Amino acid sequence: MKRNDIAFWIGAVVFLAAVLVMTQVVANQYPFFAGYVILQSIALAVAWSILGGYAGYVNFGTSAFYGVGVYASVFMVSAFGAPLPLQILTGAAVGALMGLALGLLTLRMQGIFFSIATIALTIVIETTITNWRYVGGAAGIQIQRPAVTSPFDSYVQMLFFVQAVLVVLAVAISRYIQNSWIGRGLQALRDDELAAECSGVPTLRLKLLACVISGALMCAIGAPAAMYLQYADPGSAFNLNYSVTTLAMSLIGGTAHWAGPIIGAILLGTTQQVLTVTISSEVNLLVLGLMLVLFVVGAPEGIVGLINKLRGHRKEGEI
């Protein structure tokens, strides 16, 4: 267990160091633009699976949290000219509060009813932002980036690194939860909420905690997007696509293990980026749809589930 921890943290440090070196060595900007989107997908999928995977509460409100993160940044920049770290912290704080509110209001609902409530949340918040003129309202708002901080040459390189840090943070939290009493409690309530409650698992408290952590992370991940786009409009920030693709990434990767959403997001996120600049027409929607269908049919427990199954078979064969 401890050796695992060390390996994980060494891996994380190596990953961040590689990202940092990449920002210093690679001059071409495109890998950072495309890479930022992929890293964002990974972070979102990992954050989503804390509630959606471990607890089994399918949250369609990813775009609500993401959009609130974007607009938290827009507000902080418009009102105070806040720097990027403060934007992200504000996003996380607002996200935690929103997660708590969502949890208190909806967690007594289960299954499909909870999912529908989270879609409603997206619509409610998007309508609110649409009518809030200070942050641009329906017309959207253009924001200016401040000067880039060294050692980075361009702002996008810096954002790429910041998003990589957020990925490590999200994965570390997700991994910690999985291996701690919180994760075991969440898994118990996913299998049978009533039985878990009877066995003394504080289900509502655990679900609330998962909601708060997941919400805070998703908002924090959305916050740098305002600076990435230098523009925000409700239609793009609250795009239902974020909810759908995040869900798809987690499902394709597998929700039972913290590595599942990472694998799913890398696979789907990269495919999406590649398709955008190759097929680049309606056909890419078809390809994504087919991929989803194939995975749902062929690997209902995701890639991680499939690997475990294959390993299991091999072991049985060996024995």
Per CB under 8 A, residues contacting another protein are 28-30, 32-34, 36-37, 127, 130-131, 137-140, 142, 144-145, 156, 225, 228-231, 233, 235-236, 239, 241, 273, 276-277, 280-282, 284-285
| Shortest Å, Cβ 250 to another protein | 20
| Shortest Å, Cβ 34 to another protein | 5
| Shortest Å, Cβ 15 to another protein | 21
| Shortest Å, Cβ 151 to another protein | 19
| Shortest Å, Cβ 236 to another protein | 4
Residue closer to another protein, measured from CB, 7 or 138: 138
Residue closer to another protein, measured from CB, 130 or 308: 130
Residue closer to another protein, measured from CB, 187 or 236: 236
Rounded CA-CA distance 12/306 in Å is 25
| Shortest Å, Cβ 4 to another protein | 35
Residue closer to another protein, measured from CB, 179 or 236: 236
Half-sphere exposure of 216 (CA within 13 A, CB side): 17
Residue closer to another protein, measured from CB, 176 or 231: 231
Residue closer to another protein, measured from CB, 28 or 150: 28
Q: Which two tokens stand for residue 133?
A: 């003129």
DSSP string, 201-242: --HHHHHHHHHHHHHHHHHHHHTTHHHHHTEE-HHHHT-HHH
Rounded CA-CA distance 110/315 in Å is 37
- For the chain, give the number of residues: 319
Residue closer to another protein, measured from CB, 142 or 199: 142
147: number of Cβ within 10 Å: 6
| Shortest Å, Cβ 68 to another protein | 16
Q: Which two tokens stand for residue 40?
A: 């964002």
Rounded CA-CA distance 225/150 in Å is 20
Rounded CA-CA distance 157/159 in Å is 5
253, 260 Cβ separation under 8 angstroms: yes
* Cα distances (Å, whole numbers) of residue 91 to 33, 197, 198, 246: 22, 33, 36, 19
- 142 forms beta bridges with 231
Rounded CA-CA distance 76/158 in Å is 19
223, 91 Cβ separation under 8 angstroms: yes
| Shortest Å, Cβ 284 to another protein | 7
Residue closer to another protein, measured from CB, 22 or 97: 22
Rounded CA-CA distance 59/96 in Å is 15
